[in-house]
Amino acid sequence: MRILAVETSCDDTAVALLDGCSAIAERVHSQEVHSEHGGIVPELASRAHMKILPGLVREVLLEGGMVGLEGIDVFAATAGPGLTGSLLVGLAWSKAAAWAAGKPFLGINHLAAHLYIHYGQRRRVVFPAVALLVSGGHTSLFRMNSWQEILLQGSTRDDAAGEAFDKTAKLTGLGYPGGAALDIAADSGNPDICSLPSPMADPALPEFSFSGLKTAAKLLWEGGADRCDLAASFRKTVVDILVSKLMYQSKEFGAKSVLAAGGVTANSLLRKVLRQECAEANLELFLPDRHHSTDNALMVGRAAAAALEQNPLASSPLSCNAFARWSGTSLSPIACP
Ligand code: KG4
Ligand code: ZN
């Protein structure tokens, strides 16, 4: 089953060609136009998606040895949550291609897709499991009884962890988006010099709050803190909060596997601490490689493959629309059933 998957929910334009859950070819183009503005400019993101997407599709098809869309069995695109204008570019392209080729279309939930990067791999997730989704737009904890039952336990009450990383990086002159740059700066700093608060740190509480931490970092920076020391404290504080809550949930739930996904899972300290803690607790850890932590289309294709394994006739109507926010409690790969 050949799936052509498209992801345009934010500022990465991505296309993947899959055979079931296996990647045949994939491309991600990270838009650079936003860095000079210090944040994502939605209209510029939509325009860039329109410009970049057709070329990426051509490259992926070429690498997959295909001349046109004839050999594609299913078309899938992220329907939301995300930036409406950006989503509409990938969604409209994918729906039109499916209609023209006379093949099914699937509108995919972006949050589910991040977790589905772990679907259909040689090492299978053993349930029950807990999952941490931690990106630029979201920070949430889920309990998973199976791939069909993914239940939200709690989310951030204000900023997402990636957003806090980006804002702190920007404040300290590390550019935008600066999560990865702050991670590198933190490697040269001492995390014990700058004292930062740990908001909502109770491990039993499956909710997060990062805006106070960002403000505290601002005060320390204005007070003359060293960039690398501040970055190291900030990174350690965020990682401690994320990991302690995830491990608490895993114990409470009797989890056998721990899943992590989303852009912040590219963070080197988060990866290291998760590996240590899961090894100590004898838990199977599923961590995406760095390339597939941030937005990509392979995860969208795997979410589509999973939906089709559950129901081979699954499809979304062509009326499937983009949506900016997800406010459900049970996560499913198809956004528009
Ligand atoms: O999953 P993603 O590509 O997009 C969303 O769905 O939001 O995540 C992007 C986020 C950005 O906030 C970026 O700064 C953050 O992931 N990020 C990192 C690192 N690499 C990317 N944050 C901390 N450390 C990193 N190494
Ligand atoms: Zn994402």
Closest CA to 165 of 309, 293, 263: 263
Q: Quick check: 33 pLDDT over 90?
A: no
From the CA of 31, the nearest ligand is 1
- Provide the token pair at 118: 């772990």
Give the domains, in start order, of the chain with CATH numbers.
Answer: 2-115+294-331 (3.30.420.40), 125-292 (3.30.420.40)
Closest CA to 132 of 123, 142, 124, 117: 142
Return d(Cα 116, Cα 261) in angstroms, integer.
9
Say which residues have a Cβ less than 8 Å from residue 240's Cβ, sequence separation at least 6: 198, 201, 273
Side chain identity, residue 126:
V
What is this structure's pTM?
0.97
Task: Tell how far the Cα of 123 is from the centroid of ligand 1, in angstroms.
Answer: 25
From the CA of 262, the nearest ligand is 1
What are the respective helix, strand and coil percentages of the chain, to the nearest 5?
A: 40, 20, 35
Return d(Cα 245, Cα 133) in angstroms, integer.
12
Return d(Cα 39, Cα 45) in angstroms, integer.
11
Q: Is the CB of 183 under 6 A from ligand 1?
A: yes
Give the residue whose CA is nearest to atom 8 of ligand 1: 263
Q: Quick check: 337 pLDDT over 90?
A: no
Task: Tell how far the Cα of 14 is from the centroid of ligand 1, in angstroms.
Answer: 15
Q: Is the CB of 267 under 6 A from ligand 1?
A: yes
User: Which atom from ligand 1 is nearest to the alpha carbon of 163?
Assistant: 12
**224: region left, alpha or beta (phi > 0 left; psi from -120 to 50 alpha):** left
Burial status of residue 282 (CB atoms within 10 A of its CB: 0-12, 13-18, 19 or more):
exposed
Return d(Cα 107, Cα 95) in angstroms, integer.
9
CB 297 within 8 A of CB 14: yes
Q: pLDDT digit string (tens) for 49-95?
A: 999 999 999 999 999 999 899 999 999 999 999 999 999 999 999 99
- Provide the token pair at 236: 């350690």
Give the residue whose CA is nearest to atom 24 of ligand 1: 267
Q: Is the CB of 288 under 6 A from ligand 1?
A: no
From the CA of 39, the nearest ligand is 1
Task: Tell how far the Cα of 195 is from the centroid of ligand 2, in angstroms.
Answer: 30
Give residue 177's pLDDT.
85
Q: Is the CB of 159 under 6 A from ligand 1?
A: no
Q: pLDDT digit string (tens) for 161-216?
A: 999 999 999 999 998 889 999 999 999 999 999 999 999 999 999 999 999 999 99
Please provide the average confidence, as pLDDT, over all residues in the chain. Answer: 97
Residue of 117, 165, 243 best suited for mutating to test ligand 1, as the one with most atoms within 8 Å of CB: 165
Task: Tell how far the Cα of 138 is from the centroid of ligand 1, in angstroms.
Answer: 10
